[in-house]
Structure 1
């Protein structure tokens, strides 16, 4: 089964060019991950989560057929619904240590339930390093200046390396989430997004983002 994002992919553009006050971004869009690379990324995520669960040698590791990859925006809702069905409503996820539950250490049954949900709704970084560099350049050279010329202060921009090495499902930094005063009026926010697009078309896994 081929791995696909469970959301409509954006149309691919051969070349992206934006100009703002003499600052331009012009380069070919980098290639996306192949199906084989996506499959390998999902398996690596599951291997990592199994290690974090400390279930090795405690229970037999479940085997799963490949599932469609879900986006970062979908992952939290789907995992919450899955954990609710497992009877574990109070939980959280730390990218470094994995599952945690309110009031104590997760039991083996908690960890197994989380692993089942994690495998049912896999999410991986859909972006290659070339794509991440493209996104970073778009933010640094166009989007942040666009927002700042409109009076918005973008906070805590990461280094290129820190931006590229963030791990889903915790999400990745973007300028809209870092604004001190995001417009509360929906019309004003939509106008700002039209003036300063959060993304460009052509990079599935990033192009679908729209701040709401």
Structure 2
């Protein structure tokens, strides 16, 4: 079974923040001075190319996906064999709100965490001896406060195409207006991007220009850019859910 994409995406966004660099050319940090239109950009004003409808799932399907997502946070082999069955406290249909709750839950469990504006979580330092406890806390919090499982599944082709259009029609021009140039030298065609996005060798995601935003958040002082030019479209556009 293919790894659920929401986990992959969160890891990718978080990696840009923890490593503290812009990461080699996906989203370049070359600046040429903010344009006069930098103050008028609003991602909610972008007109999506397609309308996404959230899929409906049976209770059994929701439960299966909930467990799959949570188990992917555990790499310890022994812990994988003894994971508890944790009941749901509440489902979230906003990734941002779910990550805030996950950070709160992890902090209460003894592992200081913060939900990042660009997506994903950052954590404070903890001893290596606490690694298993950290993974168990992450699993437990995810089981208690999961995303709506309908949103935790791989992107459909329509969503992949919508993201491609958003990057090219909104995000890249928005970043340029704020003085940041995105490298598009390896940009594939829309058709190729959609068709090969989930290729097993990862070739379909060689052009994935969202590493600038985590870099800017890690550096600090760029809230205007992060709010105006988010890495992904608003949740209601991408997932067909109400904004929180």
In 2, distance between residues paired with 1:53 and 1:208? 36
For residues 16-56 of structure 1, the C-alpha deviation after alignment (integer angstroms, 9 at most, x for no partner) is xxxxxxxxx88442443323465553232023234x24313
Structure with greater strand share of residues: 1
Show the counterpart of 1:18.
none
**How much has 1:153 moved relative to structure 2?**
2.4
Aligned length: 164
Show the counterpart of 1:49.
73
Contact 1:199 1:206 (8 Å CA) reproduced: no
Of 121, 136, 141 in structure 1, the residue corresponding to residue 164 of structure 2 is: 136
* More contact order relative to length (CA 8 Å, sep ≥ 6): 2
- Structure 2: 5+ residue runs without aligned partners? 1-46, 116-122, 188-192, 203-207
> Is 1:73 paired with 2:96?
yes
Contact 1:42 1:122 (8 Å CA) reproduced: yes
Q: How does 1:179-194 map to 2 (within 5 A)?
A: none
Structure with greater helix share of residues: 2
In 2, distance between residues paired with 1:91 and 1:151? 26
> Is 1:102 paired with 2:102?
no
TM-score (norm 1): 0.51
SS of the aligned residue for 2:180 comes to coil
TM-score (norm 2): 0.46
Show the counterpart of 2:110.
87
Change (3 A) 1:38 1:134: farther
Show the counterpart of 2:142.
118
Of 213, 230, 237 in structure 2, the residue corresponding to residue 177 of structure 1 is: 213
In 2, distance between residues paired with 1:91 and 1:146? 29
Change (3 A) 1:83 1:204: same
**How much has 1:205 moved relative to structure 2?**
6.4
- Structure 1: 5+ residue runs without aligned partners? 1-24, 93-98, 167-171
- Cα RMSD (Å): 4.9
